[in-house]
Structure 1
Amino acid sequence: MLYVLVCTFSDAEDWFCECPPLYTGRLCQLTSCERNPCSHGATCIPKSPLEAVCLCPYGRQGLLCDQTVNITRPRFSGSDEFGYTSFVAYSSIPSLSFFYEFKLKFTLADSSSAVKDNLMLFAGRKGQGNDGDDFLVLGLKSGRLVHRFNLGSGIATIVSDRLNHQINIHTVTFGRSKKTGWLKVDGQRNRTGLSPGPLVGLNVFNQLFVGGYNEYTPELLPLGSRFRHGFQGCIFDVHFRTRRDGKFQALGQPAGHPAFGRSVGQCGVTPCVHVKCRNGGTCVDSGSSVYCQCPFGWKGALCSETVSVCDVEHSPPPLCAHGSTCIPLPNGYTCQCPLGTAGVYCEKAVTISDPFFSANLSSWMSFPPMSIRHRTDLQVQFQPLSPDGILVYIAQHLSARAGDFFCLSLASGFVQLRYNLGDGTHILQSSEQVDLSGRTWLTVKAGRTGNRGFLSLDNKEVRENVTEGMATLDVATDVFVGGVSTLSFVSTDATEGDPVSFTGGLRELTLNDREFELTERGALSGANIGDWDGTACGYKTKVEIFGCNAQ
């Protein structure tokens, strides 16, 4: 079968491919992880039709990214066998136009490939369409450090002497003042270079990446900034200033805090100490992401299975009921239940009146797309049992590069509304934390008219006064309730922490005067949904001898 890839232009992200079913990746080059076991928004990469590798977000590690890791000195693993680099992204740095100076320290991995062709730091535009090709980049090439920048009229290149491998911790200072750039490495003499052409200003407003980049292929970066692999080793103590007389400061907002990242570990620590591959398998350490490379004839997360536990030929065969989805785990499997079923093996029929969601089961429901372009008016009642979780999520694209989005969620017990109209994320938060006992129905009203948002929890209101900027919300995905079908496809700006499903009960959901039927009949799709109170009647019905009648 021949599939046609659709190239979509986005307001902020230039372009990406809208992939056909069963495919994912920047170029739709990978089969998708329909049976996704990865947690906390990790990137799921198919290792085989039934087995996946989880590329962990920043601060997470392990086979399923279910363990936390404290990172004080980030460790990068270069490019993995799937073509992805480990990286840390920081918020954009204002005022880079006429002067910047960075200083950092790094150590190299014990590998000859660590100094061949490796990206260390990048900030720049994509170089496609009208986006321009301004950039600054630091990398390693054939054992030398390279500092390049492009102000729009040509590339300046400054190259160091070869690194002294007797030095364990290397120090680097590099920068630029208008057309003149410089690079100083360890005890080497300072080297300078001049930008060609008449331009003197650097127009870069994108995030700054350290250790690698979030694109799948280096060819998607501007010409001159491309390195074949990500960095292998540790990069730390990164500081910058944007004035010659200014003080150096740490990256991020707040200082020292990354925006997001992938497959980044702690320097000197390997997650392989927690993973014991069996039957001759080899543990592959990819920063914080880890998996077993199995010898021929063995499969499974720990190379402990000759065939996947979800294969029908496995002995014993999986017990998931017909219509459910078997998902392999490091120690067995779990069954993902379609709407109307529940139980360990999805063997029980369940009638949903008021749905129950569980973050541990990655629950979610979805409803057909609807227009909320000029006005968004949402109301829902809920009884939470956990301080974090998505209540409602809608976006322009079901992808981490979501474009416009609208997200109502719990964050550390507070109700939080986040929406993006194409010019930045608006955030409103309740003044009080919610009751997590599961005994009280809470009512939240949230939305926006144009770019002005509002949020109220049990009639305690928060309003945002915005007078400038974009005023329309363009969305096209299903309306997701209680979670999202693939949590790694939630925008990185839509939740305060890692995206997780809601835990608790929901009822009386209306959006722009449309009331949603939160049942197995009313929903378009969903997974792992129970019934909140165990009764056949919902909040708008009363129990009578012959069944449920509307009140």
Structure 2
Amino acid sequence: MAGLGWFVLIFGQLAVLTLAQNPFEEKTTFEAAFQGRCGHGSPCEQLCYELHDGMYECDCRDGYILHKNGYSCAELNSTSPSIGDLGELVEDAESDEQNTDEEDTIEDILYMRGASFTIHLEAPEANSTVANATKLREMSNEIPRAEQRPTSQGPNLEQKLPSTTELVANTEPACSLDCGPAGNCYVEQQLLDDVNVIVDDEDPESASTPREQRDEVAPRRKQGSFRQRCQCPLGRTGDRCQLESEVRSPRFTGSGWLAFPALRAAYKHVQLELEFRPEAWDGVLLLAGERDDLQGDFMALILHHGFIEFMFDCGSGVGTVRSTETVKLNEWNTLSVYRHRWDAWIQLNQEKRVQGRSKGLFSRITFREPLFVGGPGNTTGLEKLPVRSGFKGCVRHLEANEHHYRFPLAPQGDAANGFDVEECTADRCSKVPCSHGGKCLTTGGDTAVCLCPLGYTGDLCETRVDLQVPSFNGSSYLRYPGLADTSLSWLELAVTLKPSAPDGVILYNGHHSDATGDFIALYLSAGHVQFTFDLGTGPATIRSEYPVKLGEWVGVRVSRTGRMASLEVEDYPPQEILAPGAFTQLSLPLNLYLGGAPSPDMYSPKMKSTASFVGCIQTVILNSREVGILAEALGGVNVGNCGHACEARPCGDAECRPLRERFTCRCRPGVPHPCPAPDDYKPLATSPARPNILASRNEKTVPSFTGSESYLHYNDADTMKRIISYRVDINMRFRASSSNGLLLWSGRQSDPQEQKDENDDFLALGLKQGYLTLAYNLGSGEAVLRYNLTRLDDDLWHRVRAVRNEQWASLVVDSGTGVSASSPGQLRQLNTDTGLYIGGAPDIVRTTGGRYTKGIVGCISDLILDTDFSVPLLSPEQSTNTHSCIP
């Protein structure tokens, strides 16, 4: 037992001179605190929590209860030990706790060196039960024993009339209105000032009042007339509470409240989400606790001088967390509250989180009273709070520990009772019944719109639509799986779109939900196409030279390799940029969004525009694969049809493929060939009015090779310094129809009359029997690395990355699994002097030492070296027998 350290038990609310003198038994489960830290030396049988002040406590899992020794656990259904001496567990005689959650009955017992204890048990007062256990106990005569107060056996949800009745009783007759069986009649002033209100700092009358006097919240009134009024229960309205009403989004008048059942399983952990629209700077938003006089544990959300204050007391002192910003008056605000044991934080309107901590060693809050929303309910002892009046304004969302509260009375809702609550007219969503799973969204100015799921449209999502070419209206988006790690080193993106507004996000994919980390964004800003990306060391943005024309189809192509990216709009010259820093890879695990996003908060603040796209998006090609815009979408909102010819289904049972203003038909298996097509249809590539932009671009920028004495040659310093030396990083796209052929070569020159040295330095990349092969020699032996996971002689575009770092090398094809190898010997540097040959080489058998007999038959594009240098394929030092690649 020496490892347990020292401890002393202090019991509260036990109450006789000794237990032997009074055999009255009272049960309480408890927590114990020990000096030291959790770890191998702690005696805790199941769970251990480190406290502040160099202490720790033990705890048990669900279904167990902490033993008298403070460290072992016993099953809840086991027989409790009888009480014969100090420290044994005893049973609670209060009948109102028989059905409460076992965890919620846990009380705090403090173990502290040098503390003495005295046990008293006072008889309960007549007509009342013993008050619930108060956690601050008598300790070394320094901590006063908490005052015992009677409380009701169960929650009383009757409305307590405001104290205004007492103030005006001397001058006004008793209230005589008939407010129905559940309504209350009371007298109130006709002026706006209520009794228990904080005087506004901006009020001229209160400006000269000392702050100390104003914060006392003493009842006072301006002179004025009085009137009688009915205070109606939840579900009733009218002058005499004669009318039925349904409250979906409650509005509180400052004197009303809603009551929900007591919080369950929340003694250690509470997480709240709240949306509210305040009409005054002060008021009690939410209140819950152990007793109806605030003498036990409690937590409260207060609106005080416009600031949110979260107050919580675990039994040894009140902790308060206060927002740094004020709420937005007469606007919707969001509030998140998180409390775990002593610690808590709040976040108002997505601003910075504010943290706080409660006092003392006790960490649990017992909730037995109802959860009051909009006011203090029937709670007394409000002098602990800086505000006593109720909240004035609307609440439309309340969630506690993942339970979403419904505001109507049970069984239609969750409310147990309420007074002076009316329907919030500011929340227009309660008047907008969206159909087919649509969700209502308020847009400001007390207006609301329905966000319709894919396949539905209309003001209330009442109309089903056959989507062909999607259109976006500024509140729309489509959602897809993110790129994840498929675009670590390179990204190819092509989009065909027709914008109707000069600003809007076309495509976005991020890394973190808080808008930090890597991201890519393609968007319009002032009519210019912009591409922004961040690899983790700062953003880089490319901007098109000319703005696009609204209402016309436009093709956009983005290419990124490592830190380098290019942007090409239509047939204008591409723009290029190099990202800052040293990072070269891009990781995007979140969903990819097209046309917008659920919230602009998801976008990186490094973007120039966060408006949603307005217009049509026809095709999206990612990494050489066309995305099924509608078929592959995980979800979407408010997506309509663009008004394209494909909507009339001109291809019958075949697939209609839009090509800007026109279309073509793609036959499905079993459909006769040729597919039906309109008589005036002409392929886009042969249209004289608008040539195929992709074909035009390829003809201008992509060389093709015949395999026989067909190559490009470079020997400039910018190229060769990235080939020679200790490291090389090659990133390229190619398309090949031959099973064997050289892609890249750099080696050593030799006299034609001499035999080549078998250990001459060289680097070769090519196809052998359809598989990609990297071979190199640094002067001490040849290494051959073969990528045998897939054949590449299929005449399709493939992306390849070949990296050599000293002796080690790796190959990756199309974002697949990488393979690696190492060269023999000790030499680590590549020294070549032939320059760089692309697609082939002169006298290829001798040049390559017989390793290759011909060059590649196909096309090569986008050759990037060391992630930052794009080899100019259009302007080589020498070009032999090359042609333009036919797409």
- Scaled by the length of structure 2, what TM-score is found? 0.28
Structure (1 or 2) with the greater strand fraction: 1
Asked which structure has the greater RCO (Cα within 8 Å, sep 6+), the reply is 1
TM-score normalized by the length of structure 1: 0.44
